[in-house]
Structure 1
Amino acid sequence: MLRANPELQGLSAMEVFDRCVDAITNQGLLVILNHHMFDAAWCCDTIDGNGLWFTDKYSTDDWLNGLTFLAERYKDNPRVVAFDIRNEPRPWVKEGGTSILPWWGLETSILNLFGYQVVDWRRAASRGAVAVWKGNPVANVVIEGNWFASNLAHVTDLPLMLAQGCLQSRVVYSLHEYSWYSTAYLLWSQRDDIAPVWVSEFGDMRRGASKWYNNTMRFFKATDASWFWWPLDPQKVPQGFDPENPDGQLDVFGLFNPRSRDYRSVVGWKLQDLVDLQAPSPDAPARVSVPPQCTFDPRANEEAANRATGGLEFLLSIHWTVYMALTTAIFVLLVLLRCIALCSCCLCVRTAWLGFTSG
């Protein structure tokens, strides 16, 4: 990048980022800034330490302050249209076996004994939205679904905690859709007109051989879904970026052809399919209503966003569909498995001790 753009040499990373945003928006393109990772690395899994809004190195306050900083930095650029505050919230399996599980609308320490800590993504997302509005009160805020951005199951029952209901018009919920998510679309495709939903990632490396891809394209076309293809880049890791992997790593999902490792040629069938998908829908409204004016109150919304949701409130609030029951059952199963493992360990220790004393 620096070789091709010598005017960037000597600038800080933040200044280079500014130049990139300016270059994109000066071409008339819109920018949505995404808090993708704390560390510079490929995303995502449960052991990378980057699945939540805090890590061992960065606190929740660091995350919130960063959101406010960026929102304020670009508030005068009208083509920076939104802030996606956290990419793919997901479990964090720490060294030693402890697992931190994000849940929408629930935080509890009751499972700490069994090696599970449950943290509330709803509360964190509410605080993250408020942090963005402190920097830019009229910004749009994107909230990704839980569990690798695959699940918005509880959002309709437990919306963001805001003091001003009018701010909900500035919230967009986001999902990722890939073949390995199987039937995840059932959890986000309900059309209740509560809030806009954006499929901010989908992609594939196949076409005719992929039933998932063909069905997804038909579904997006039929519903006039909003989407982003992931990714543009032909490489996951550029050449020379990682000393342990000097040749880099190709991304077969890339819109640009990974075989050429550059930005000169695209994968033709991907581009053509996306162009076809962009055709205007006959069901698109001729006019879109403008939300009423809403003056952001930072103090009131900070107080509302910081409120914790108790277990009883969670259970009484959610609508028990089949999918709600399924996610809850998976959670209970994880707890039972950990209990069985702990009991087995205790039994083994007791047996060994009795054997030692009797010997």
Structure 2
Amino acid sequence: MARFGHMQWLTSWLAVVNLLFSLSSSTEIERRASWPNGPLVTSGRWITDATGATVTYVGVNWPGSLETMIPEGLQYQSIETLVSKIKSLGMNAIRLTYATEMIDQYYDNGEKDVTMQKAFVDVLGQDDGMAVYNKVIANNPSFGAETTRLQVYDAIATECAKQEIYVHLDNHVSKAGWCCSPLDGNSWWGDTFFDVKNWTRGLSFMAEHGKTWTSLTSMSLRNELRISVTNSQLANSYNWEDWYKYVQQGADAIHSANSDVLIFLSGLDSDKNLTAVVQGSALEPGTDTFNRDNFQGYGDDKLVLELHAYDNIFGTPVSSCSVIKDKLFNTGFQTLTNSAANQFPLVVTEFGFPQNESTATDSYASCLLDYFPSQHTGWMIWTLGGSYYIREGTQDRDEEWGLLSHDWSSWRSPGFTNGILSTAVNSSMAPISDDDGDDDDDGNGNESTDEPSSASFLSQSRPGLILTMGVLGIYDFFYGAY
């Protein structure tokens, strides 16, 4: 066999390199176009996408369930800017809250949603409402007088899809307003504003509406279920047995309307108690135990547990990190281990702290943001923004727990955000490997590999890697044959 001439070899080599560039670029475009590689599913303690890659939710809360029923902060910043700020932290998810009242008003209004302009005026008054409305449309010029509240949610979901941010839709309250109190009428099924039929109707409506959102990957049943102190008739129904009855109704409503989304189950005591589910104990006062088969068609691959973890969530502030970890394990984190009767993925959908000069060195913050990544659990911090249109009667009220400043323009506590928060985000988003020392299984008694699948690896391969491998192969073909 005669050797190629230099020019002939170079021409052939460049042609093949060009082909490899084209193929690798197409692969990357195809990967991005297929985001979020859904629908997401669960297996034991893990959430995975359609490629088999493990998905860990890491993100923030974005409230939209207060009186205006419009996601907060848009009078200060555009949706694109706010989603970009979330993305800049390396996060991949938002917990977007809504009130059942928004859907109630939709039906009361002849199945027509309330406009954003009307919502602001009704809640804030004519002058203040129009002032806020005008600021919102100045920042978000695609909106106008006919833009409805649901269309604002649509716009957020669309931008999240563009920037590859998962949307977790959270039913925060029934009657719109600040949450949560045992006095607010939103506490438990049958409470003053917590109508069961309206609740399931609202879940079904939002699940159906969200089918058009590429970014929607999960929904909650209800935020912070708690005992009502204003409705004595509910005292006997606040228990695990009734909890189980109602969560099945809510989960069925979501799954029947949208079978793609994951469904998050919150427990008792303002979402700090999942013990009966995790340990498989009797759902008192009855004797039945939690059974995935009661969630027909999706109990094995669509259910996720959620937990909240504030520093006073155990009754009094706790300073010892080891004590905090023990309590979190006992109230829910056990579900991530082989010792659990029922293994599920777990996401801490709320935790947080005042954002100030001391947050960067706060022991509770450091404890949680070290523990969550070590357990490969998802988490969403409360909260993104630094103010509310109106909260508890005060317009433009400051949110000292917000990651962003009052005008949503900069980090309120840069030392915290750029320090332990960013470190935790990076740790939580890092690939999961076999040497993490977990004793988890896949929910079927088999040892978990903790390893992303080969499909996941290939889908995440960079063009440069493919190109390098290809060039080495070409070189070997032309020169190694001799």
Gaps of 5+ in 1: 107-119, 291-359
Per the alignment, residue 198 of structure 1 pairs with 347
Per the alignment, residue 270 of structure 1 pairs with 416
> Residue 87 of structure 1: CA displacement?
0.4
> Residue 54 of structure 1: CA displacement?
4.4
Any conservation in 1 of the 2:178–2:391 contact (CA below 8 Å)? no
1:16 paired to 2:152: yes
Any conservation in 1 of the 2:217–2:260 contact (CA below 8 Å)? no
Higher gyration radius (CA): 2
**Which SS does the other structure have where 2:275 is aligned?**
coil
Residues 145, 289 of structure 1: CA spacing in aligned structure 2 closer, same or farther, 3 A cutoff? farther
1:254 paired to 2:424: no
Counterparts of residues 1-359 of structure 1 (less than 5 Å): 1=74, 2=133, 3=135, 4-9=139-144, 10-94=146-230, 100=235, 103=238, 105-106=240-241, 120-156=242-278, 157=280, 158-159=289-290, 162=294, 164=296, 167-182=299-314, 183=324, 184-185=327-328, 186-190=330-334, 191=337, 192=340, 194-205=343-354, 206-207=358-359, 210-235=362-387, 237-238=388-389, 241=390, 244-246=393-395, 248-257=396-405, 261-266=406-411, 267-272=413-418, 273-278=420-425, 279=427, 280=430, 281-282=432-433, 283=436, 285-287=450-452
> Residue 135 of structure 1: CA displacement?
0.6
**Which SS does the other structure have where 1:174 is aligned?**
strand
Any conservation in 1 of the 2:353–2:401 contact (CA below 8 Å)? yes
Any conservation in 1 of the 2:186–2:192 contact (CA below 8 Å)? no
Q: Percent identity?
A: 23
User: What one-letter code is carried by the residue in structure 1 that aligns with 2:421?
Assistant: L
The CA distance in 2 between the partners of 1:244 and 1:85, in whole Å, is 27
Any conservation in 2 of the 1:64–1:131 contact (CA below 8 Å)? yes
Residues 250, 289 of structure 1: CA spacing in aligned structure 2 closer, same or farther, 3 A cutoff? farther
Any conservation in 2 of the 1:85–1:143 contact (CA below 8 Å)? yes
Gaps of 5+ in 2: 1-73, 75-132, 281-288, 315-323, 437-448, 456-482
**Which SS does the other structure have where 1:199 is aligned?**
strand
Residues 103, 289 of structure 1: CA spacing in aligned structure 2 closer, same or farther, 3 A cutoff? farther
User: What one-letter code is carried by the residue in structure 2 that aligns with 1:202?
Assistant: F
**Which SS does the other structure have where 1:41 is aligned?**
coil
User: What one-letter code is carried by the residue in structure 2 that aligns with 1:195?
Assistant: F
Any conservation in 1 of the 2:177–2:391 contact (CA below 8 Å)? no
User: What one-letter code is carried by the residue in structure 2 that aligns with 1:80?
Assistant: L
The structure with higher relative contact order (CA 8 Å, sep 6+) is 2
Residues 133, 242 of structure 1: CA spacing in aligned structure 2 closer, same or farther, 3 A cutoff? closer
Residues 242, 33 of structure 1: CA spacing in aligned structure 2 closer, same or farther, 3 A cutoff? closer
**Which SS does the other structure have where 1:7 is aligned?**
coil
The CA distance in 2 between the partners of 1:92 and 1:289, in whole Å, is 50
> Residue 77 of structure 1: CA displacement?
2.8
The CA distance in 2 between the partners of 1:204 and 1:289, in whole Å, is 39
> Residue 102 of structure 1: CA displacement?
6.0
Residues 152, 104 of structure 1: CA spacing in aligned structure 2 closer, same or farther, 3 A cutoff? farther
The CA distance in 1 between the partners of 2:392 and 2:399, in whole Å, is 19
The CA distance in 1 between the partners of 2:366 and 2:269, in whole Å, is 24
**Which SS does the other structure have where 1:181 is aligned?**
coil
> Residue 104 of structure 1: CA displacement?
5.0
Residues 101, 27 of structure 1: CA spacing in aligned structure 2 closer, same or farther, 3 A cutoff? farther
Any conservation in 2 of the 1:102–1:147 contact (CA below 8 Å)? no
Residues 78, 101 of structure 1: CA spacing in aligned structure 2 closer, same or farther, 3 A cutoff? farther
Any conservation in 2 of the 1:51–1:89 contact (CA below 8 Å)? yes
Residues 198, 288 of structure 1: CA spacing in aligned structure 2 closer, same or farther, 3 A cutoff? farther
Any conservation in 2 of the 1:91–1:102 contact (CA below 8 Å)? no
The CA distance in 2 between the partners of 1:197 and 1:242, in whole Å, is 30
TM-score between both structures, scaled by the size of structure 1: 0.67
